[in-house]
Amino acid sequence: MSEVLASLLDGLFVGCIYGLAAMGLSLIWGVMNVINLSHGAMIALGMFGVYLLYSHLAINAYILLLPVMAGGFLVGLAIYWIAVHGVVNRPQLMSLLSTFAVNMIVIGIGTTLWSTSPYNVNFELSGITIGPYTFTGNHIAAAIAAVILAASLQLFLYSARFGKAIRAVADNRDGAELMGISSAWVLMVAFGLGISLAAASGALVAMLFPFTILSGGIYELKSFVVTVLAGLGKPIGALLAGILLGLLEGAVTPFVAVSWVPLIEFALFVFVLVFFPRGIFERML
Amino acid sequence: MRWLTTLALLILLPFFLGTAMAQQTVTIGFTVSNTGSLNVDSQEQFRGFELWRDQVNAAGGIKAGGKTYSIRFVNYDDESKPQRVQQLYTRMILQDKADFLFSPYSSGLTATAAIVTEQNGKLMITTGAAEDKTYKQGNRYLFQMFTPSSDYLTSALDALKAHDTKTQLAFVYADDSFSSAVAAAGKAYAQKIGLKVAFDEAYGPETADFGPIIDKVVASHATALVGGGHYADGATLARQFHNQKAKLEFVSLLVAPDSPKFTELGDAAFGVTVPSQWEPQSAYKPQFGPSGAEFAKAYQAKYNSPPSYESGGGYTAGMILQHAIQQAGTLDAAKVAQALNATNVTTFFGQTRFATGANEHGLQIGHAMVLAQWQKDKAGALTKQVVWPAQAQTARMVFPIWQGQSKTLEEAQKAK
């Protein structure tokens, strides 16, 4: 197997996680026009959620995704009522400041509780070895979990009654209210779902690499790139854009130093913002 | 009248005695990275400072020039950021009136702190700051405890050459001043002793995923990996090359594997070597202060964790400053600096001697490093052993280390 092919496959697996991380940001941004600056902190909470559960229960860490997502959902509901509900209809700067404050509070509490020392979830699934390259079981499982979660969210948004209500509120909040949909309830659940997805992506990342309370930051940045690529409120679009970003990383890293990757990604970010402000999948999804 | 005078003297005597015997204070300022990427190593360094202070104060303080000084620390969180270091060292000198300073952890932060301390004529003992460049700027009050970065990889490369002369090296290191300086010196030394460098790449200090770099290392057919940076990136790198089954015979990472926390990586820690400034097993005969075993025991008792070389360096920085103050008999920075210039002593940490030439003043020229490796004891628990140089060896180096085929040198030679 060639180095480029191995790098592309690695990019594919990691890209699925970028996609999952971005889904939560995209959902919240798309439905309530709130740019959640606590997204990275929520990803980090997902990392610590799986770490704490795994260190106490010592069962298959992927089973722990479910309680982590449930916990993320509840945390999301709480944050919505405490910090978002009051500013959701006000200028966007207010929600930016409010979620940034949540981010600082969570990181402050996390630093006090866990410091910024790296933690490690010592759980490994056996991987696949092709020639000199090994693709770890954790990378493959994370990619599969991300695809399943993206498909589930897509199914929920387009088939379930409540999912349709979320889309209706996203499209036209006043119109949805006139049809009897409680937008406050819908926004709260959408925020909870967004945080739940962020926590899930954090849990999956925690099984791949050591992490600290600050580790969500890098995935938050990638989530912005992915969300801009995909357009808002499109879970499958976010997954595809995440995969695209991962493949881009995989394609360039054999040829340039890894430290150039953020420069290339953010150049792409600016390019898409200028030429495709509604995302590259505008007409496809 | 006489009885009245006697009574007055009796009443006032304790006050006179109290004033004469009152302890004075020596204030030492430094920053600690309580948060940020240098957190683990910086905390261990701080514990070394703290243990030294507590032991000296418990023994009555520093006795110098007929006075006794109790040690007071002034310290703040630098968040692993140079801009914080610049603000805080200025504050500690100007507002907190620190008499002396210890360095923050890392070469990068220390380089920033050194500008402030030199400008203010304050003496700073550096520890956890190995990069040579900082000591070649014409400083007068800067003194380095660690072996400089130019010698960091010498023991690792010598050990590697002794086991496999045809090895192909991959240098993968953090793009920070310390790691880059170590790697540059390491590459030059590798070429000097005839080892081939097959791959060379620096990565950003915040890199969280080393998958692409490991693919490149595999593609380069490198058989040994040398590099890393500090704890967070080194631990991630070690875990990923283990998980991705990169068939490396030898891995030597900077700093991270020295921390007791490294064992949290489980099997990924096995076989990884670390150029170490000091190991608890090192059997130096100290001219003063505790032996290595005594220090390790006290440290374990206080922190419920074995000391790392950052901890040893922190403690020794305190001892060397104390020794210099005692030699100078004063807290005057210029006189203490003179005493440090003349210092040539051995503590449990090894020899300490500073260069005194104008172009490299304060550079450490007495201390030597060892190479330590994570191995398994009979019970299967990870334990760190000194594997190089031969005279300091506590166990033979496990070589090659890759994936379940770990062998001692003898077993590897038999297998060949």
Q: Taking CA atoms, what residue in B is nearest to A124?
A: B243
Mean pLDDT, residues B138-151: 93
What is the CA angle B134-B136-B137, rounded to 5? 80
B231/A111 Cβ within 8 A: no
Number of compact structural domains in chain A: 1
pLDDT, position B403: 45
Distance from CA of B223 to the nearest CA of A (A): 12
Rounded to 5 degrees, what are φ and ψ at B300? -60, -40
pLDDT at residue number B232: 87
Q: SS3 of A100, please?
A: helix
In a domain, A280, yes or no: no
Q: What is the pLDDT of residues A61-112, one digit of tens each?
A: 899 999 999 999 999 999 999 999 999 888 889 999 999 999 999 999 999 8
Q: Do A6 and B215 touch (CB under 8 A)?
A: yes
Enumerate the β-bridge partners of residue B68. Answer: B63
- Least Cα distance to B234 among B331, B320, B304, B308 occurs for B308
Residues of B within 8 A of A258 (CB-CB) are 201, 203-204, 207, 212-213
Q: Are strands B62-64 and B100-102 parallel, antiparallel or unpaired?
A: unpaired
Q: Closest CB to B212: pick one of A7, A117, A118.
A: A7
pLDDT at residue B205 greater than cutoff 80: no
Which chain B positions have a beta carbon within 8 Å of A138's beta carbon? Answer: 243
Q: What is the pLDDT of residue B308?
A: 92
Tell me: pLDDT of B338 over 70.
yes
Nearest to A68 by CA among A48, A84, A39: A48
**Residue B412 in tokens:** 């590897």
> Does residue A281 carry a pLDDT above 80?
no
User: Residue A259: which of B34, B204, B208 has the nearest Cβ?
Assistant: B204
Residue in the structure block whose two tokens are 């697996």? A13
The minimal CB distance from B232 to the residues A10, A208, A210 is found for A210
For residue A257, give how far its alpha carbon lies from the nearest alpha carbon of chain B (Å). Answer: 7
Share of chain B above pLDDT 90, in %: 69
Q: Which residue has the higher pLDDT, B23 or A154?
A: A154
Q: Which residues of B touch A249 (CB under 8 A)?
A: 212
Q: Count CB atoms within 10 A of the CB of residue B304.
A: 7
Residue B412 has pLDDT above 50, yes or no: no
Per CB-CB distance under 8 Å, the chain B contacts of A210 are 232, 235-236, 239, 265
pLDDT at B18 over 80: no
- Spatial distance between the Cα atoms of B233 and B105, rounded to a whole number of angstroms: 16
B291-310 mean pLDDT: 94
What distance in Å separates residue B28's CA from the closest CA in chain A?
25
What are the backbone angles phi and psi of residue B365, rounded to the nearest 5°? -125, 0
Percent of chain A whose pLDDT exceeds 70: 98
Residues with Cβ within 8 Å of B304's Cβ and at least 6 positions away in sequence, in order, are: none
Do β-strands B370-376 and B382-388 pair in parallel, antiparallel, or remain unpaired?
antiparallel
Q: Does A152 touch chain B (CB under 8 A)?
A: no
Q: What per-residue confidence (pLDDT) applies to B405?
A: 46
The answer on pLDDT for B410 being more than 50 is no
User: For the residues of B379-399, what is the DSSP string, one character each?
Assistant: TS-EEEEEEESGGG-SSPPB-
Which positions in chain A touch B36 (Cβ < 8 Å)? 116, 214
B239 to A120: CB separation less than 8 angstroms, yes or no: yes
Q: What is the mean pLDDT of residues B384-411?
A: 73
Q: Which residue in B40, B243, B265 is closest to A136 by CB distance?
A: B243
Please say if the pLDDT value at position B416 is more than 50: no
Tokens of B402: 């890759």
Give the pLDDT of residue B414. 52
pLDDT tens for residues A168-201? Answer: 988 888 898 898 888 889 999 999 999 999 999 9
Instruction: Write the CA distances from B49 to B101, B321, B409, integer angstroms.
Output: 11, 11, 39
* Over residues B58-69, mean pLDDT: 94
Helices (H), B128-250: 154-163, 177-192, 211-219, 231-243
- Asked if residue A89 is part of any domain, the answer here is yes
Secondary structure element (H or E) that encloses residue A266, with its range: helix A261-275
Structure tokens at A174: 């006043």
Q: Which two tokens stand for residue A161?
A: 């009654």
Q: B244: nearest CA in chain A?
A: A134
Q: Which two tokens stand for residue B414?
A: 């038999």
Q: Note the maximum CA span of chain B.
A: 101
Percentage above 90 pLDDT, chain A: 60
pLDDT > 90? residue B16: no
Which of A10, A120, A211 is the best residue to mutate to test the B interface, defined by the most B CB atoms within 10 Å of its own CB?
A120
The Cα angle at residue B314 between residues B311 and B315, in degrees rounded to 5 = 90
Q: Which two three-digit tokens encode residue B192?
A: 């000097």
User: Quick check: is A80 in a domain?
Assistant: yes
pLDDT at B9 over 60: no
What CATH number does the domain located at B151-276+377-415 have? 3.40.50.2300
Determine whether domain B21-147+282-360 maps to CATH 3.20.10.10: no
pLDDT band at B4 (very low <50, low <70, confident <90, very high): low
Residue B2, pLDDT above cutoff 70: no
CB contact (8 A) between residue A7 and residue B266: no
Of B283, B312, B340, B314, the residue nearest B141 (C-alpha):
B340
**pTM for the structure as a whole:** 0.79
Residue type, B245: K
pLDDT of residue B407: 46
CB–CB of A14 and B39 under 8 A? Answer: no
pLDDT surpasses 60 at B404: no
Interface of A with B in 157-216 (CB under 8 A): 208-212, 214-215
CATH number at residue A244: 1.10.3470
B204: which chain A residues are within 8 Å (Cβ-Cβ)? Answer: 258-259, 262
Q: Give the integer Cα–Cα distance in Å for B214 and B239.
A: 11
At A285 the pLDDT is 57
* Residue range(s) of every CATH 3.40.50.2300 domain in chain B: 21-147+282-360, 151-276+377-415
| Partner-chain residue, chosen from B202, B215, B236, that has the shortest CB–CB distance to A209 | B236
Mean pLDDT of B280-297: 90
Identify the domain containing residue A160 by its residue range.
3-275
Tokens of A246: 């991962």
